[in-house]
């Protein structure tokens, strides 16, 4: 499908066709996997369309064109992991720069900030980005970037993208949004004013827990060139096979996201009424304090749900270990449902005081709600939460 016709088509059609013309040599309707590391030159000093797979690869090019179309951007740059994509963006900074970042972020992002970027002489200031006034107040003359997630990992805080973009554009700083939880199907930060979108394509883009990847998308050509230069120079590129898997996953992204969100709402609604649950975090609940903001910028609320068990951290671990359909594992975004105790799994390397400052309770459980039958998922959680009632009953005896 030619680029000049893509804007006329809706998301689901572009997910299947953008960047994916039938193979010219064979007529194959599925993009081939091009494992070749090198390509034929037309003459000395005159490469063809491709020359070396670290720099360019036909399968990766198809993936990048497709993702750029879905994100509403002019260019996408694919990487070997979400962390590699984040590192490419952070490499835009130089010593003396200052970054305003959310106080609720993916643990891998915080690890990059603290151990790889701060030693370069770059300062980070973490604020509660639910209030854009906090972002404005934190910006200094040397601030170069504002970095947020929305929804955040793992307590699903919502950042007003349009209002934040208004501030960053007025101050002349880059605005980066990690859009992994929402995906471009439910939220397109570039269209709302962000400068860079980062996503872990390991998650919903792939959708089947069988690849690792990351991507950046932009609307600014010069910014795209800088990210592509880093991609080539650092060499953190995905394999052609992983690019092909991502393209295959993206074809069903719109279908899967609808089911993820429908199931997540049913699970969150069940948890909200359960006596052993103290609090539920899901932006699609009308009881959510940020429901209005989420609805303003999202067309759906995603498949991630977190909740706090009424009890102790040990009680939360017991519940997380008691499910049969939800599998005890990190990561998210696959067709299968996953459950984790955040304080001892994905956020274990973050200190307890830091977790507390970010609103992450020791009793918090994070769910990646899959596309199974919602009734089975609810029944599974009901049984798992029942272990707490049984324990309480034994104590009475």
- DSSP-derived letter for residue 254 is H
Nearest to 124 by CA among 144, 154, 152: 144
What's the rounded Cα separation, in Å, for the pair 18 and 88?
A: 25
Active-site annotation holds for 54: yes
* Ramachandran area for residue 195 (φ above 0: left; ψ -120 to 50: alpha; else beta): alpha
Give alpha helix (H) positions in 172-239.
Answer: 183-186, 221-234
How deeply is 375 buried, as exposed, middle or buried, from its count of CB atoms within 10 A (0-12, 13-18, 19+)?
A: exposed
Active-site annotation holds for 276: no
Q: Say which of 14, 75, 103, 106 is annotated catalytic.
A: 106
* Ramachandran area for residue 121 (φ above 0: left; ψ -120 to 50: alpha; else beta): left
Give alpha helix (H) positions in the chain.
Answer: 3-6, 11-17, 58-71, 82-90, 107-111, 132-138, 161-171, 183-186, 221-234, 240-250, 253-272, 291-297, 313-322, 352-357, 374-396
Q: Say which of 103, 178, 242, 315 is annotated catalytic.
A: 178
Active-site annotation holds for 242: no
Q: How far is CA 393 from CA 96, 127, 278, 378, in A?
A: 59, 43, 19, 23
Q: Say which of 50, 54, 295, 376 is annotated catalytic.
A: 54
Please write down the HEC assignment for all residues of 53-98. Answer: CCCCCHHHHHHHHHHHHHHCCCEEEEECCHHHHHHHHHCCCCCCCE
Q: Say which of 144, 157, 203, 355 is annotated catalytic.
A: 203
- DSSP-derived letter for residue 314 is H
Active-site annotation holds for 203: yes
CB 126, CB 170: distance < 8 Å: no
Q: Which residue has the tokens 């854009």?
A: 132
Residues serving a catalytic function are: 54, 106, 178, 203
């Amino acid at each position: 499908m030619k680029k000049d016709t893509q804007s006329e088509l809706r998301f689901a059609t572009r997910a299947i066709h953008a960047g994916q013309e039938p193979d010219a040599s064979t007529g194959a309707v599925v993009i081939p996997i091009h494992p070749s590391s090198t390509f034929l030159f037309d003459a000395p000093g005159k490469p063809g369309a491709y020359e070396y797979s670290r720099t360019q690869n036909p399968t990766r090019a198809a993936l990048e064109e497709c993702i750029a179309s879905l994100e509403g951007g002019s260019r996408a740059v694919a990487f070997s992991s979400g962390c590699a994509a984040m590192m490419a963006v952070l490499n835009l900074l130089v010593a003396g720069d200052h970054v305003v970042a959310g106080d609720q972020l993916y643990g891998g992002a915080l690890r990059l900030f603290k151990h790889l970027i701060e030693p370069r002489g770059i300062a980070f200031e973490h604020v509660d980005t639910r209030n854009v006034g906090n972002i404005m107040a934190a910006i200094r003359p040397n601030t170069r970037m504002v970095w947020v997630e929305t929804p955040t990992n793992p307590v699903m805080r919502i950042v007003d993208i349009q209002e934040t973009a208004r501030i960053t554009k007025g101050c002349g700083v880059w605005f980066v949004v990690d859009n992994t939880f929402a995906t471009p199907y439910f939220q397109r930060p570039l269209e709302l004013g962000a400068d860079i979108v980062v996503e872990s394509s390991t998650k919903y883009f792939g959708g089947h827990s069988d690849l690792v990847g990351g991507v950046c998308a932009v609307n600014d050509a010069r910014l795209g060139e800088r990210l592509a230069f880093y991609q080539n120079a650092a060499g953190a590129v995905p394999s052609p096979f992983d690019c092909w898997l991502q393209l295959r996953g993206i074809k069903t992204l719109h279908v899967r996201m609808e089911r993820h969100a429908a199931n997540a709402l049913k699970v969150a609604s069940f948890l909200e009424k359960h006596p052993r649950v103290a609090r539920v975090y899901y932006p699609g609940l009308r009881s959510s304090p940020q429901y209005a903001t989420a609805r303003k910028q999202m067309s759906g609320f995603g498949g991630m749900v977190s909740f706090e068990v009424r009890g102790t951290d040990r009680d939360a671990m017991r519940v997380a270990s008691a499910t049969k359909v939800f599998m005890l594992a990190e990561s998210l975004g696959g067709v299968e449902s996953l459950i984790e105790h955040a304080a001892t799994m994905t956020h274990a390397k973050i200190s307890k005081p830091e977790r507390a400052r970010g609103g992450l309770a020791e009793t918090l459980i994070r769910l990646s709600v899959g596309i199974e039958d919602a009734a089975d998922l609810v029944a599974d959680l009901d049984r798992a939460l029942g272990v707490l009632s049984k324990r309480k009953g034994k104590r009475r005896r």
